[in-house]
Structure 1
Amino acid sequence: MFEKVNPAHPDKVADRIAGALVDLAYQKENNPKIAVEVLIGHGICHIITETSVALSPDEVESAVSRIAGNLLVEYREVSQDEHLADNQIDGIHCGDNGIFKGVPVTEEQKKLTAISKQLYDTYGSDGKYILDGDRLILCQSNAKTINLREVFPDAEINPLGDWTGGTDVDSGATNRKLGSDMGDSVTGGGLHGKDLSKADVSVNIYAWLKAQETGVPVELVCAIGDDAVDGIPYEKIVETARAFIDRIGGFEKFAEWGLIC
């Protein structure tokens, strides 16, 4: 059983905005410290950023406009907590406490992701999809049910009828669709809107990559300030995650589909 949402889903729009602001921070510094929370919906976008790198309101509003359209932006920027900042003064150390899990992607997850991308490439609008064995449920905004049924004759399509979707229908928030992004690898840490020192980003990516490579689940635990995780220097784990993000095209692109892409 698996659920996937596409990049136009309101929660993913929030993730993409958060990712875009992290990208901006990395354009200004090689190792910025930043955490972004976004709540978006019904004409307004609230953003709170804890950061070591100042982002101008114009930069923030430009990112929101490009991703989500012309919305009222309420932006609050504060410095990172001094105790958390001190953890990184003499090098890159684990930036959070947490447990993490990497699980190989299943054929069901691959199949639904391919369907999700097919529909997004066709319509480019808000969509949510579920696959449970032979049962396929498709909710695709701005698409006629009759047309979708021609392509997916056995699916349950738009159960409440045709709909428009987007942030004028539903609100969105960062890290609310981790099941879509991570499948069976979900634990407590959110992937989006954070720099690479945060274990939620780097250790999650490391564990997931290791699971895909070995074909077996990976379970890890770390404490804030740790210099190594899984017997690997934390700085190396960060560089592994950095290479992964760079291959995808940045934090905003990572937010579009998550790890299962």
Structure 2
Amino acid sequence: MRSNYLFTSESVSEGHPDKVADQISDAIVDLFLSKDPEARIACETLTTTQLVVLAGEIRCKGVYEDDQWAPGAKEEIEKAVRETVKRIGYEQDGFHWETFRFENNLHAQSAHIAQGVDASGNKDEGAGDQGIMFGFACDETPDLMPATLDYSHKILAKMAADRHSGAAPFLEPDAKSQVTLRFENGKPVAATAIVVSTQHAKGYDEGEKEAELKNYVKGVVAEILPAELLSDETVYHINPTGSFEIGGPDGDAGLTGRKIIVDTYGGASPHGGGAFSGKDPTKVDRSAAYITRYLAKNVVAAGLAKRCTIQIAYAIGVSEPLSLYVDTHGTGTVDDAKIEDAIKSIEELGGLTPRGIRTHLGLNKPIYQPTAAYGHFGRKPEGDFFPWEKTDLADKLKAAL
């Protein structure tokens, strides 16, 4: 590992068109799981000027069974979609929660996929797809996340909170952030560049109003980043294009699953390629990424490493994982292979089968819409939400070594 370097991560706000799509897709996941914990959902969303389109494959008791919609189900889906956009705050001529055109193209899950995934006879539930998934944790922040991504998320989350509360009425929903930090001896020591582009009300691109917006953003950055990282040498790029009035789906089309690096580790870790939002937890793209984060975080929380990457792999329809790989990047206190063996020995993980993962983390619940903006990881576990962020496995890992 290099010890001295610059590293950058970006985030996007809840009003970014791709994040609007992600939140809509996860609203559908939550709606279906609230009615049927064994529902199957693969919901993709397209957003553009005054249009939202759903497409994908579903199966859900009380909503869609035997290729038939239950009475009122379509109307309930549309209501969930519009309420999601309303909560984000879009009431613009080019994209308004009440007046956009809506298309629902969801249809039945493939019977051939279902026969591989569903449990039957002596066959356990199989993985919903083939693929590789990665989890990561490091000791750069209290939440054991990469600092560059953690700060990028929190800048935008604070701006959104101020927009919703009325503290910053000149902000509109769409925004992006980017944080560059200089690392020395593997630790962040200075913020060299901050980039924030935010959609704004008319007139906030010139004169005193522009200055007000830029000063506000600098104040948010100062609130989020540790003071020792900021200095007169920190370079700010705030709305560098000059104007940002047209934004959201009216400014750029949005699609589910296009922000997978924002969703995970900001480029500090490999990514298997699969998106999370819009998928029920039988899809290992989602559930296995959650369990590997859980495992990596517990490895670091246990003091077994300062930095940990875990990879897991599956074949569609097969319950047992094909491989498990642990890399502590030279920071481990024990051999990486021993950590792998310790993970495999913990019975409550259920052998890391899809059913074992869902059972241990409690994933068959409507807990997903909050994940769809500001990252799936580095969040505070509360009640049923973000169970993969708990560090309750740390002592068991140490005991198994």
TM over 0.5: yes
Q: CA deviation at 1:228?
A: 2.6
CA distance in 2, matches of 1:75, 1:111: 36
Q: In terms of Rg, which structure is larger?
A: 2
Q: CA deviation at 1:158?
A: 0.4
CA distance in 2, matches of 1:24, 1:4: 27
CA distance in 1, matches of 2:14, 2:48: 15
SS where residue 45 of structure 2 aligns? strand
Q: What code does the residue aligned with 1:195 have?
A: D
Alignment partner for residue 160 of structure 1, among 222, 241, 255? 241
Where structure 2 has 5 or more consecutive residues not aligned to the other structure, the ranges are 1-7, 86-96, 138-144, 165-172, 182-191, 205-209, 220-234, 301-307, 325-343, 345-350, 380-401
Q: Structure 1 residue 82 and structure 2 residue 111: aligned?
A: yes
- 1:1-261 to structure 2, matched below 5 A, reads 1-53=8-60, 54=64, 56-68=73-85, 69-70=97-98, 71-87=100-116, 88-90=118-120, 91-104=124-137, 105-124=145-164, 125-133=173-181, 134-142=192-200, 144=204, 145-151=210-216, 152=218, 154-164=235-245, 165-183=247-265, 184-215=269-300, 216-229=308-321, 230=324, 231=344, 232-234=351-353, 235-243=355-363, 250-260=367-377, 261=379
TM-score (norm 2): 0.61
CA contact (8 A) 2:119 2:126 kept: no
CA contact (8 A) 1:120 1:127 kept: no
Q: CA deviation at 1:185?
A: 4.7
Q: CA deviation at 1:2?
A: 0.4
Q: CA deviation at 1:13?
A: 0.7
Deviations 1:76-130 (A, max 9, x none): 1211111111121424321110011112121222222221211121225111111
SS where residue 362 of structure 2 aligns? helix
CA distance in 2, matches of 1:179, 1:17: 19
CA contact (8 A) 1:196 1:241 kept: no
CA distance in 2, matches of 1:192, 1:31: 17
Q: CA deviation at 1:49?
A: 2.6
CA distance in 2, matches of 1:146, 1:121: 21
Q: What code does the residue aligned with 2:177 have?
A: Y
Where structure 1 has 5 or more consecutive residues not aligned to the other structure, the ranges are none
Query: How many corresponding residue pairs?
Result: 258
CA distance in 1, matches of 2:371, 2:151: 19
CA contact (8 A) 2:21 2:45 kept: yes
Question: Equivalent pairs: percent with the same residue?
Answer: 26
Q: CA deviation at 1:157?
A: 0.3
Structure 2 CA distance for partners of 1:214 and 1:31, relative to 1, 3 Å = same
CA distance in 2, matches of 1:40, 1:3: 22
SS where residue 276 of structure 2 aligns? coil
Deviations 1:158-211 (A, max 9, x none): 011231322111111000111111023522111110111000110011111212
SS where residue 239 of structure 1 aligns? helix
Q: CA deviation at 1:241?
A: 4.3
Q: CA deviation at 1:75?
A: 0.9
> Greater helix percent: which structure?
1
How well do the aligned residues superpose, as a CA RMSD in angstroms? Answer: 2.0
CA contact (8 A) 1:206 1:240 kept: no
Q: What code does the residue aligned with 1:155 have?
A: Y
CA distance in 2, matches of 1:89, 1:219: 25
SS where residue 194 of structure 1 aligns? coil
Q: What code does the residue aligned with 1:207 have?
A: T
Structure 2 CA distance for partners of 1:48 and 1:241, relative to 1, 3 Å = farther
Structure number with higher relative contact order (C-alpha < 8 Å, ≥ 6 residues apart): 1
